[in-house]
Amino acid sequence: MLFAGLLPNIKGPEAGQPLRLMPWQRLVFANLFGFVERGTTTRRFRQGVVYVPRGNGKTTIAAPIALYLTFVDGEGGAEGYAAAVTRDQARILFDAAQQMVRRSAGLRDHFGVQAGANAIYQESTASRFVPVSSDAKALDGLNVQVAVCDEIASHRTSEVYDVLLTAMGKRRHPLLLSISTATGNTSGIGRQLWDYAARVLDGTQEDDRLFALIYAADPEDDPWDEATWIKANPSWGQAVQPDAIRAIMRQARNNATQETAAKTRHLNIWVGADEALFSTRAWHGARNPDLDIEQFRGKPCHLGLDLASRTDLAALSLVFPSVDPATGKTTYAAFARCYLKEEAVLEARNASYPGWAAGGHLVVTPGNETDFGRIEDNILDLCRRFRVVSIGYDPCQSTQLAQRLRGEGVEMVEFRATTANFSPAILELDAAMRAGRLEHDGNPVLEWCLGNVVGKADRRGNLYPTKARPEQKIDAAVALMMAIGRAMESPAQEVSIFDRPELWTA
């Protein structure tokens, strides 16, 4: 900690002033350097796993640790590495260390540490600290004294981590420090390390060589309570500005895209397998047990059709849009019909299938394939009972059925599986649920599918619906998004061909 105090701050209003570690950062230093093997000077911890939300000073703690172990620890020919998925990410930590060296006369004059453009080095000990990216093949032959895996949660595979870990065998007390914030990558090495560290912390896993520290909201915490924000952010009121977090969380509460980002970045919550995109509480609040589709006979509606494959769940969702005269905003009544082959129900691939089928929520078609002809007949029946303005469908799945329905005069509109199509529909569905602009009849299959939806965001924040595991079906929810998407695109005054008997053919 004394060494860290000799280094300068490089950002913010205190730039150029001596670095002052916050309490949680001191905790990391004290543990990593304060414990040794009994009767020796060999440090206890060979690995550190630290998870904190963004903005809490991960780089501020990682850079001094890397510099100390590379140049001040007394290890000849020390090799230090700032490792990340991309070289640009690796340079974030490296550049911070580089600036600290350039602004620290003590490091340069007393320890002979020099900062070059792509390496920090010490000629007297032949030691160096460099940035490296995820090209694991280029990392062979290393002899690691210290390596910092920055944003380990973004690593898709464990290749870099494994190479660095196995390259520490020749050092007396090396350190591999993995430091990160949670992401949506729940199948990568970052989540594996999190889970392992959590087991070490709760005592179910014994590992005296691993130091673990996790600051995050727990599953039972209310993500919108300020007490949760304070709990998850150890630098609250210091590096983390309360007013900034309050503003971010206030905006995120009513926006699905921002909510996902806010939970991962500022609460350190993994948004993935166990984190549904849509609020279960909001969906339950939208349930109207008295809602009956027959109430909407003759009313305009839009359909979404997700056929998937003949061996999987197929779904048809309907929305009846209307305009609230008090607010001028669109409201929706939502319904769904789901179809599954008999074989899947008999095999009970999902324990709920038989009950849903018995309750009339799941249409079971005979045999070992879902009967698309049954779905076609149901669509034509719906067109006669309601003003079906349009049906959105994925051309990769439903081309033949779409052609036949067009032949019957049904307005079939391609709804390709792209973020450009799905993101607006996802946001509108989420907003309508939260604002009380959507109601549904409580179809349990639709609820199950909606709860399985995980939002995959592109770099622009656009969302696409996906699922964490194959058994977690989302077909009915996808069909609902398609129906919402069509309702957003189509003027309310459009009418169905089934409203115009003069166009019917014998």
d(CA 418, CA 464) in angstroms, rounded, equals 7
Backbone φ and ψ for 310, nearest 5 degrees, come out as -70, -10
Closest CA to 485 of 411, 417, 428: 428
* Interaxial angle between packed helices 395-407 and 372-385, expressed in degrees from 0 to 180 and rounded to the nearest 10: 50
Q: Using DSSP bridges, classify how beta strands 79-83 and 300-306 pair: parallel, antiparallel or unpaired.
A: unpaired
Query: Which residues are CB-neighbours of 284 under 8 A, at least 6 positions away?
Result: none
What value does the mean pLDDT take over residues 204-215? 92
Say whether pLDDT at 493 is over 70.
no
pLDDT of residue 363: 92
pLDDT in tens, 58-99: 999 999 999 999 999 989 999 999 999 888 889 999 999 999
- Radius of gyration from C-alpha coordinates of the chain: 29
**Residue 470, by phi and psi: left (phi above 0), alpha (psi -120 to 50) or beta?**
alpha
State the SS3 of 386-412: CEEEEEEECHHHHHHHHHHHHHCCCCE
Q: Which two tokens stand for residue 160?
A: 């870099």
Mean pLDDT, the chain, rounded, equals 88
pLDDT in tens, 21-52: 999 999 999 999 999 999 999 999 999 999 99
DSSP assignment of 274-315, as one string? T--SS-HHHHHHTB-TT--GGGGTT-EEEEEEE---TTS-EE
Distances, alpha carbon 430 to alpha carbons 188, 282, 299, 499, in Å: 28, 9, 24, 32
DSSP assignment of 86-104, as one string? SHHHHHHHHHHHHHHHHT-
Confidence of residue 503 (pLDDT cuts 50, 70, 90): very low
pLDDT of residue 337: 96
What value does the mean pLDDT take over residues 249-264? 85
Report the share of the chain in percent with pLDDT over 90. Answer: 58
The highest-confidence range among 4-13, 130-139, 147-156, by mean pLDDT, is 147-156
Neighbours of 441 (CB within 10 A): 17
Confidence of residue 182 (pLDDT cuts 50, 70, 90): very high
Say whether pLDDT at 311 is over 80.
no
Residues in a beta bridge with 305: 316, 393
pLDDT of residue 312: 78
Confidence of residue 358 (pLDDT cuts 50, 70, 90): confident
Q: Which two tokens stand for residue 43?
A: 């440090």
pLDDT of residue 156: 77
Locate all alpha helices (DSSP H) within 135-273, ordered by sequence.
Answer: 159-166, 189-202, 226-232, 242-252, 256-267
Grouping H, G, I as helix, E, B as strand and the rest as coil, residue 333 is strand
| Domains delineated in the chain | 2-214 (3.40.50.300), 226-267 (no CATH), 280-503 (3.30.420.240)
pTM of the model: 0.60
Q: Which two tokens stand for residue 242?
A: 């309360």
Say whether pLDDT at 472 is over 60.
yes
DSSP-derived letter for residue 362 is E
pLDDT of residue 341: 87
124-145: b (≥16 Cβ within 10 Å) or e: ebebbbbbbbbebeebeebebb
Query: Which residues are CB-neighbours of 131 under 8 A, at least 6 positions away?
Result: 81, 82, 83, 84, 87, 90, 91, 93, 94, 118
pLDDT in tens, 421-444: 999 999 999 999 999 999 999 998
pLDDT of residue 272: 53
d(CA 143, CA 165) in angstroms, rounded, equals 10
pLDDT in tens, 281-298: 788 889 998 999 999 999
Confidence of residue 157 (pLDDT cuts 50, 70, 90): confident
